[in-house]
Amino acid sequence: MNGVDVFFFMWAASLIFFMKAGFIALEIGQFRSKNVAYHCVLKLLDLAAVFIAYLLIGYGISYGLENIMPLITGNFDAELGAWFLKMAMFAAAAVTIITGGVAERIKILPYFIGALLVAGILYPIVEHLVWGGGFASLGINFHDYAGSGAVHLFGGLVGLMAAYVLGPRIGKYINGKPQAIPGHNIPLAVLGAFILAFGWYGFNIGSAVGVSNGVELASVGIATTMALAGGIIGGALSSKNDPLYTANGMCAGLVAVCSGVNLFTPIGAFIVGLLAGLQQPFTFKFIEEKLKIDDVCAIGPVHAMSGFIGVICAGIPFLLKSGANVSLLGQIIGAITIAIIAVVGGFIIYKGLDMTIGLRVPENVEKTGLDEAVLQVRAYSEE
């Protein structure tokens, strides 16, 4: 790997890292102000948990245990160092999705331990299958260029399992019927979606193995842009121009395009983004009404379902450029495998934490607000 390629990976890692700011803004805008500062602490701690666990064990599970000691001691070459840093940011993106499902009611310590376990063990198993040669060694033709399955389908389903174990927020269900709990700052949430979209160019373009193929980089950039547009249109249409669904639609389109972003035609990418944006209200309604999961920041439709759509669409020829070597059957097998690992593994981790140290804050703390009751601070002092 030459110096230009190393810089390219560092550029991608930097943009993906900045997506964290987008996640924070998008999420805290969608729930009540009394829990905002506490949620910021969760987001900071899961970032630290990922980097620690991924360095010590996660990367080794993904790409070979022989890489652990060079990374720990610092005796690595440019290729290993650059690849590790970029993929650590992918791991951070997958794990931070979880907070969107468990907001306003989870304890800090079990959340941090859960992030360590997901980043150090569960996510690397999926990463090994997708990018570490696992599926290929089993003869499964699975294509996930930038993580619709490995990052978003996985992270969304793990987050839903954590939310299921936690149970709904107080007041979310009355006589079994879900009640709206409005967020406190729509403009902040929309700003977060834009920050995420900015970082997504590093997420997708940075998934190339280097800078030598300019056509590939440009193609990925254009497909990313068209899926973004499709997601906005889909979110606006299905929600009758609701600002949160429209902003989340942009993110849903970007999630869906990741898997085949190097293969989709511009129109194909738009269609994929449109489908992801359109499904949001229906998927969200199913999750909260049928599954009875309190998915605070809609990680189910935005990440899990959009990731699934993207993985499957990457195996549909009419959406792809000619000559794409994909298999719809391989995409289906891959999506189902990732989903099983996320659901079973996520449930085991968070149920285990709940049974041992407890996941949820006490009822009086939740009613008061986590900022004042736990941190003794207010996110907005003028209140």
List pLDDT tens digits, range 296-331.
999 999 999 999 999 999 999 999 999 999 999 999
How far is Cα 205 from Cα 220, in angstroms, rounded to an integer? 6
Please give the C-alpha separations between residue 64 and each of 69, 70, 132, 135, 375, in angstroms, as whole numbers.
Answer: 11, 12, 8, 15, 41
Q: What is the pLDDT of residue 1?
A: 75
User: pTM surpassing 0.95?
Assistant: yes
User: What confidence category does residue 383 fall into, taking pLDDT thresholds of 50, 70 and 90?
Assistant: low
Average pLDDT of the segment spanning 186-191: 98
Is the pLDDT at 266 greater than 70? The verdict is yes
Please give the C-alpha separations between residue 241 and each of 7, 28, 51, 232, 274, in angstroms, as whole numbers.
Answer: 40, 21, 38, 10, 14
The per-residue pLDDT for range 33-47, each reduced to its tens digit, is 999 999 999 999 999
The per-residue pLDDT for range 47-81, each reduced to its tens digit, is 999 999 999 999 999 999 999 999 999 999 999 99
Q: What is the pLDDT of residue 381?
A: 79
Q: What is the pLDDT of residue 265?
A: 98
The per-residue pLDDT for range 267-300, each reduced to its tens digit, is 999 999 999 999 999 999 999 999 999 999 999 9
Q: What is the pLDDT of residue 2?
A: 86
Domain boundaries, the chain: 3-375
Q: Which of 101, 154, 135 is nearest to 339 (CA)?
A: 154
The per-residue pLDDT for range 223-261, each reduced to its tens digit, is 999 999 999 999 999 999 999 999 999 999 999 999 999
Place of tokens 């511009």: 266
To which H or E segment does residue 178 belong? strand 177-178
Place of tokens 């890489």: 67
Is the pLDDT at 190 greater than 90? The verdict is yes
Superfamily of domain 3-375: Ammonium transporter AmtB like domains (1.10.3430.10)
Task: Give me the percent of the chain exceeding a pLDDT of 90.
Answer: 98
To 5 degrees, how large is the angle CA 187–CA 188–CA 192?
115
To which H or E segment does residue 177 belong? strand 177-178
Is the pLDDT at 337 greater than 70? The verdict is yes
To 5 degrees, how large is the angle CA 349–CA 40–CA 193?
95
The torsion angles phi and psi of 168, rounded to 5 degrees, stand at -70, 160
Chain-centre distance of CA 338, in angstroms? Answer: 14
106, β-bridge pairs: 360
On average, the pLDDT of the chain sits at 97
Asked whether the beta carbons of 244 and 30 are under 8 A apart, the reply is yes
How far is Cα 160 from Cα 343, in angstroms, rounded to an integer? 8
Q: Which of 98, 105, 86 is nearest to 49 (CA)?
A: 98
How far is Cα 343 from Cα 131, in angstroms, rounded to an integer? 20
How far is Cα 264 from Cα 311, in angstroms, rounded to an integer? 12
